[in-house]
Amino acid sequence: MENKEELKNKLDSILAKADLDTKKGLIVDLEKKSIENDFWSDAKKAGEVMKRMADLKKEVEDIEMMQILFEENELDQAKELIDKYEILLFLSGQYDKGGAIFSIQAGQGGTEAMDWSQMLFRMYTRYFERKGWKWEEIDRVHGEEAGIKSSTLNVNGDFAYGYLKCEAGVHRLVRQSPFNADKLRQTSFASVEVLPQIEDKEIEIKDDEIEWQFYRSGGKGGQNVNKVATAVRLIHKPSGIIVSSQTERYQGANRESALKVLRAKLWHIEEEKKSKTVSGFKTGLIASWGRQIRSYVLHPYKLIKDLRTDYEENNTERVLDGEIDGFIEAFLKNRKV
């Protein structure tokens, strides 16, 4: 537990960066705008203004509560709020507050790796639910015997991209294989790719640059297989990027999902050209299974360790059940991405 002086230094730093007077001025301006006669004539824009106003009010209330708790010597509660806000200060990138396109891809290890991808899917979707984020799977390729070869999801919620970009990279599993009669220890890999959701106007995609293919969606048969060609696959001719979407019931919705993923991938290519870095995104290094970020050992001992920060947890069941905030917060504080 930090002492009172250390907490005071953190609180002072937050107050200096937060600029409460400016935020309160913005709230007043937005409130005035919200009572104008034509405010709701554009429902989408009005909704964005109302959300912005609510977010600012919550931020101001939280910071003022920090001050009150600290002054009243409620240091445990003050620390909880200060730590939470300190993390949010690290999430100041252009897209950090918005949603994410989140993909899991099985790597080396055959059926074992596909089962590992399914385990990661469960871990992350439970994490999304803990955070109160909404998610939808827009594409899935099933494994032949078990698990999944790949899955792509839209994740929507406050700071979804800011938090999830910390998870991009290769995840390594070591365990006794349930698919081997001798229960031999086996190592498997899966990669996670995280991209921001990009607005239409930010990335221009011309109709003649895309080749569309349509097919029936579904998994291994049964009721989930559609009888009509609602699933889509697009090929972006200039880049060679291929995107599929098949989980929506209507072809139009699948087209929109595929275009959303394409915009994110094209944005990423442009960002790579500008920065020439690999931080936080899928690159050639990740695709070749070279940038491992975390190791999950379930046998002969239990330990999950982040290779970037050395943060580790022995309660592997808890982590695989979606409690991964400790890893993400350690990375944010260490790297300040």
pLDDT digits (tens, 9 = 90+) for 25-58: 999 999 999 999 999 999 989 998 998 899 899 9
Q: Which residue has the higher pLDDT, 3 or 191?
A: 191
Matching fold, domains 4-90 and 100-197+278-335: no
* pLDDT tier for residue 290 given thresholds of 50, 70 and 90: low
Q: Where are the domains of the chain?
A: 4-90, 100-197+278-335, 201-275
CATH class of 201-275: alpha beta
Percent with pLDDT over 90 in the chain? 58
The whole-number pLDDT of residue 127 equals: 97
The whole-number pLDDT of residue 323 equals: 97
Q: What is the pLDDT of residues 137-168, one digit of tens each?
A: 999 999 988 899 999 999 999 899 999 999 99
Which range is least confidently modeled, 122-126, 169-173, 218-222, 329-333? 218-222
The whole-number pLDDT of residue 226 equals: 46
* pLDDT tier for residue 278 given thresholds of 50, 70 and 90: very low
Which range is least confidently modeled, 146-150, 253-257, 279-283, 327-331? 279-283
**Per-residue pLDDT for 337 more than 80?**
no
**Per-residue pLDDT for 286 more than 80?**
no
State how far the alpha carbon of 210 is from the alpha carbons of 12, 112, 146, 302, in Å: 52, 35, 33, 48
Which range is least confidently modeled, 155-159, 220-224, 267-271, 301-305? 220-224
Contacts of 110 (CB under 8 A, 6+ apart): none
CB 50 within 8 A of CB 44: no
Q: Which long-range contacts (CB under 8 A, 24 or more apart) does 300-309 make?
A: 300/185, 306/330, 306/331, 308/334, 308/335, 309/334, 309/335
* pLDDT tier for residue 238 given thresholds of 50, 70 and 90: very high
What would the two tokens of residue 234 be? 């697009």
Q: What are phi and psi of 232, to 5 degrees?
A: -130, 150
* pLDDT tier for residue 88 given thresholds of 50, 70 and 90: confident
What architecture is the 4-90 domain classified under in CATH?
A: Up-down Bundle (1.20)
Mean pLDDT, range 51-73, rounded to an integer: 91
The whole-number pLDDT of residue 36 equals: 92
Q: At the topology level of CATH, where does 100-197+278-335 sit?
A: Alpha-Beta Plaits (3.30.70)
Using CA atoms, how far apart are residues 272 and 266, in angstroms rounded to an integer?
A: 10
Q: Which residue has the higher pLDDT, 183 or 301?
A: 301
Query: Using CA of residue 68, residue 71, residue 74, residue 78, what is the dihedral sign?
Result: positive
* pLDDT tier for residue 4 given thresholds of 50, 70 and 90: confident
Mean pLDDT, range 77-104, rounded to an integer: 89
What stretches of 155-232 show up as alpha helix (H) in DSSP?
160-164
